[in-house]
A and B are shown apart, each in its own frame.
Chain A
Amino acid sequence: MMFDTTVKVSLKPGMLNPEATTIQRSLALLGYEVKGTKTSNTISFVIEAESEDDARAKVDDMCQKLLCNPIIHNYTISLIKMDFTCGSCE
């Protein structure tokens, strides 16, 4: 089974995020008063796995080893099963 995977990596709550602070200040200069600005990274790829649980376990491992640093980051994983029969005539 193939899964379209998206990992979202964000700083843990309470961590100083200077990039977000700068963006918020810049938005204020343009007249947009917003609060709670955050930034995050998304990493997307396609993975082959036995099942959704198997895919999730593999991606979780990737997050722990490379995609995130668990000291400062939280992450969310979203998996969408790719259905290749979609669009074909039955």
Chain B
Amino acid sequence: MAIGIIRFPGSNCDRDVYKAIELAGGEAEYIWWNNEDLTDYDGIVIPGGFSYGDYLRAGAIASNTPVINGVKALVKEEKPVLGICNGAQILGEIGLMPGLFITNEVPKFNCEWVELKVATNRTPFTKNFEKNQKIKIPIAHAEGRFYTKDIDLMKDQDQIVLQFEGKNPNGSMEAITGVCDESGLVMAMMPHPERATTSLLGSKDGLEFFKGMLDSI
């Protein structure tokens, strides 16, 4: 019983996620991109980084690898899947989340602490928060501007999970930076919860995402 962490050439937050899952009381294992059978895992995290050098578009190449077939199979079995940063961009390319994360309004890499609002706590990852609770987690991306054609549908289906509070650092539509699929079991977020897991780092709000995920399996 373990959470699988998918590694692509260029993933670079995989070890942080591993530590975060350990801190949250769970067990984690790394999965290389060519592994198609993920039936041994209770949930999946696709960590951040620059998979395949962001060639073509961030996440485009990774979304066409064998491991993604395994992810799709787990989604059908209603297991939780969390995509963080580049992982979120990959979920966008696969079409497992509504919309896409594209180049920031000011097209530069932006790394800073931000305040977020938890817009819904119906997902396993946000169930330990109150609705509208403010949390502190860092962002680090150049392609994180949320865009969708279906904003009304997303609102109807309660698919907006996290929104920037106070300022919108990348020009995201309605300051959205975390979304989920209809079931709520697949979540894509640009902020890095694995970088906010102890007070020593500045915040431990991020740990709750992993605790919630572990509680639900």
A positions within 8 Å CB-CB of B: 15-16, 18-19, 22, 65-67, 69, 71-72
Kindly state the interface size class of chain B when it binds its partner.
Answer: 10 to 19
B204 to chain A, nearest CB (A): 34
Nearest A residue to B95, CB-CB: A71
Q: How many A-B Cβ pairs are below 8 Å?
A: 29
Complex CA distance for A65 and B60, rounded to whole angstroms:
9
B positions within 8 Å CB-CB of A: 56-57, 60-61, 64, 93, 99-100, 102-107, 145, 147, 149, 171
Would A72 and B100 be within 8 Å (CB), given that A16-B105, A19-B107 are in contact?
A: yes
Query: What residues of A have a CB within 8 angstroms of the CB of B104 in the complex?
Result: 18
- The DSSP consensus for interface residues of chain A is helix
Complex CA distance for A65 and B102, rounded to whole angstroms:
18
Query: What residues of B have a CB within 8 angstroms of the CB of A19 in the complex?
Result: 103, 107
Complex CA distance for A72 and B145, rounded to whole angstroms:
13
Q: Which of A16, A65, A67, A71 contacts B100 (CB 8 A)?
A: A71
With A16-B171, A18-B105, A72-B147 already in contact, 13 other A-B pairs whose C-beta atoms are closer than 8 Å: A16-B105, A16-B145, A18-B103, A18-B104, A18-B107, A19-B107, A65-B64, A66-B61, A67-B56, A69-B60, A71-B99, A71-B147, A72-B102
